[in-house]
A and B are shown apart, each in its own frame.
Chain A
Amino acid sequence: MSTITLSAGGAAVKPRKANKKKAQPFPYILLLPTLIILVVMVGYPVVSLIITSFQHYGREQVFGAPATFAGLENYQTVLTDPSFWMMLLRSFLFMIAAVVATMLLGTLLALLMMRLNKGFRLLVTVGLLLAWAMPALASVAVWGWLFDTSYGIINYLLTQITGSDWTGHSWLANPISFFLVLGLVIVWQGAPFVAFTLYAGLTQIPGEVLEASQMDGATPVRRFFLIMMPYVRSIFTVLIVLSIIWDIRVFAQVVALQSIGGIAEQTSTFGVWVFMKGTAGGNYGVSAAAALIMVVVMLVISFYYVRQTLREDNN
């Protein structure tokens, strides 16, 4: 994927060479260390992934037996599996909901930070940093405890507040509420990054522009959409694309939550499905094929936005 993305980026950058500079070897030498690292860390695994996706590759092959060529069989297996399409739909719906919620919350937090005085801003910053810096598995463990069926504080508080009996209510058994809890974990950890980045962007907007618009009678809502948004639009685009990528390949949180409760078959997302077929199920060929399909899907998403961004830029 990454190599392809890079070449996509490279292709998109090409038109800029219209500025024309003489070809010099020095810039390429500077690029070399990065390229070597990318080839070793990204290129090699991707190539081996592509090869595996065309092979019969099971547990015996992991321990050294030679793999046989499978042609397109693995791809056929993936694409004709109804559970694959269900999972794809599920992953996309979750991604959309999570990205919208993350961006919304992150933007509101950024606007809040603009208004706060120094002391409170520091408090919010530290709080956001802690949420952001918390390891994914640790945060799932904490949220899992909050929503625990037998001992969770959420069930306890709901029983106290609503008066109806929530004792023993399982939040993860129902796929909808499973994704609600998962969404909380993801948004809670994703929003701080959006908030910080947007806040940094918003502080760069010249104060006199906002002041002028205010004097002309623009309401806060109009000021936000007509003045602030255009200034931070490219940042916004990058944040959306990054969130899309992060949320569609969410893995550890789902697996950890599944080990607490819920029905794996109805709650697996892209990465989890690939993992279940491969590492857990011992069918690495099929899982490599599914992983490559995932890569292509994400390539399509990011390519559109990268092109869009560059086009706006050139205008």
Chain B
Amino acid sequence: MKGKIAAVALVAASALTLAGCGGNPGGQTSGGSTDSSAPAASAALRVWLVGTDTPQEARDYLKTTFEKENAGSTLTIEEQSWTGLVDKYMTALSGSNSPDVVEIGNTQVPAFTAAGAFLDLTDKYEELGGDDMLKGFVDAGSDKGKFYAAPYYSGARVVTYSTDIVSGDVPTTWDAYLTAAKAAKTDTVSGMYLTGKDWRDMMTFVWVNGAEIATQDSSGKWTAGFNTPEGIKGLQQAADTYNAASLFPKDAVEGDQQIPFCEGKIAYLPAPSWVAGMISAPEDAKTPGCASTFGAKEKLHQFAAPGLTAGTYAPVLAGGSNIAVPAKAKNTDLAYKAMQIMLSDGYQKILAEAGMVPALTSQAQFMADNENSKAAQAAASAAISTPAAEKWADVEASQILEDSFSKLVSGTADAATIAKELDDKINATLNG
């Protein structure tokens, strides 16, 4: 009898456990529901911001301004993580409990505009800023002639260093920069911050040598460009530089760089321009920095990574975010009002002061006249974005680039093999 009960228990238990693995493509809602029938006039608005990039001051400004202008309504900012964002948004935006305003990475937004995830804002284009909005971000947020996602901010990758670790002149050419980074390496200090899966910084090696991730021909077909003499040279250079200059893990993603920087473990740090602000934060801040040691204002310097010849800049990844209203959001009118606040001068001024490039070209005047923003603007002038392909988000989600660069720096495959593998997978994904 015991056996019978056991068998029945097994069937029941396996039924329950297996149910957990069944995919649910219909995108069922999860979590508690909120304002299901709240009138548009007053509602609890939910805004999703990603990562810690948006300064606290801007968050407070958005909340207070919105709640003052729309009496009776509340605005809550829910912070999301950059890791796995595409997956998360696919589920959240298709469900009945969708947030009202979302921030999304500029390289991820095309997958969502093409899928119809966002509210069509074509008739609001002029009101939001028209051609004054950053063009590359408007393009990323548009699909088939319709406008869905507005620019939020843009940022370029600059090189940050502390005079406690690095002495001497700022390198003026790419080769001089690599030589300086390799020379700065000791047993505990990395000459350059590079991790094996940090494709965003590794791509600069490929771009500076003249290759592209992928190009589109007139018929709309994408061709990846790693398996070219320039591409292979770039990959090889990235692997050599990693092995000669970095002590960071071969299989880690780019992570909180301010932590090792504040431990004095990094000479040259290629990172988004606002990371300098995180480094120079006080030791007791919510996200602690090291204002009294390596991150002291007079010790911390930035420059745009130099190009092959003096006076030019190396192409870095054009980073940044878009903001959009999900098509399934319940309070679209209020959401649009929140979006307007986020694009307003008052709000963008705070972002600009934190080292980000504002959403509207005319707001660039708010950027501080310091070394950091000058470096950011110089780097932005040479920045390159990822291919404007609808399926690009799939390339990021499948971790093709992370896996390949990790294998490359581990030496488990040579640059030519990696280049071919990358091209095959990217071609298959973008044209699939």
User: Does B251 contact A280, Cβ atoms closer than 8 Å?
Assistant: no
Binds A, one of B130-138, B242-250, B282-290: B242-250
Contact partner of B14 among A265, A294, A302, CB < 8 A? A302
Tell me the complex Cα distance, A246–B4, Å: 21
Tell me the complex Cα distance, A263–B250, Å: 10
With A45-B19, A49-B22 as contacts: A237 and B6 at CB distance below 8 Å: yes
Interface string of A51-64 (1 = CB under 8 A from B): 01000011111111
Tell me the complex Cα distance, A298–B19, Å: 12
With A49-B23, A280-B397, A291-B23 as contacts: A5 and B18 at CB distance below 8 Å: yes
Residue on A nearest B17 in the bound complex, by CB: A245
Any chain B CB within 8 A of the CB of A259? yes
Interface set, chain B 1-43, CB cutoff 8 A to A: 1-4, 6-11, 13-27
Contact partner of B249 among A52, A149, A251, A313, CB < 8 A? A149
Tell me the complex Cα distance, A238–B249, Å: 42
User: Does A259 contact B253, Cβ atoms closer than 8 Å?
Assistant: yes
- A residues within 8 A CB of B117? 59, 63
Tell me how many residues of B have a C-beta within 8 Å of chain A. Answer: 60
Tell me how many residues of A have a C-beta within 8 Å of chain B. Answer: 71
- B residues within 8 A CB of A42? 15-16, 19, 22
Closest Cβ–Cβ distance, residue A145 to chain B (whole Å): 13
Any chain B CB within 8 A of the CB of A305? yes
Interface string of A231-248 (1 = CB under 8 A from B): 000110110011001100
User: Does B403 contact A263, Cβ atoms closer than 8 Å?
Assistant: yes
Contact partner of B7 among A58, A168, A313, CB < 8 A? A313
- A residues within 8 A CB of B352? none
Residue on B nearest A277 in the bound complex, by CB: B398
Tell me the complex Cα distance, A284–B394, Å: 13
Interface string of B377-418 (1 = CB under 8 A from A): 000000000000001011001110011001100100000000
Nearest 4 pairs of A and B residues by beta carbon: A59-B115, A2-B15, A9-B11, A234-B3
Q: What are 16 residue pairs bridging A and B, where the CB atoms are less than 8 Å apart in the complex?
A: A2-B19, A6-B11, A12-B7, A45-B24, A46-B22, A49-B24, A59-B112, A62-B90, A149-B251, A170-B249, A173-B249, A173-B251, A238-B9, A264-B402, A274-B21, A309-B3
B→A interface (CB under 8 Å): 1-4, 6-11, 13-27, 83-84, 86-87, 90-91, 93-94, 111-112, 114-117, 196, 247-253, 260, 327, 391, 393-394, 397-399, 402-403, 406-407, 410
A→B interface (CB under 8 Å): 1-2, 5-6, 8-9, 12, 38, 41-42, 45-46, 48-49, 52, 57-65, 149-150, 168, 170, 172-173, 234-235, 237-238, 241-242, 245-246, 249, 251, 259-266, 271, 274-276, 278-282, 284, 287-288, 291, 294-295, 298, 302, 305-306, 309-310, 312-313
Additional 17 contacts, C-beta under 8 A, given A62-B25, A149-B252: A2-B15, A5-B18, A62-B27, A63-B93, A150-B260, A168-B249, A170-B249, A172-B251, A237-B6, A241-B14, A245-B18, A259-B253, A264-B403, A280-B397, A282-B393, A288-B23, A302-B11
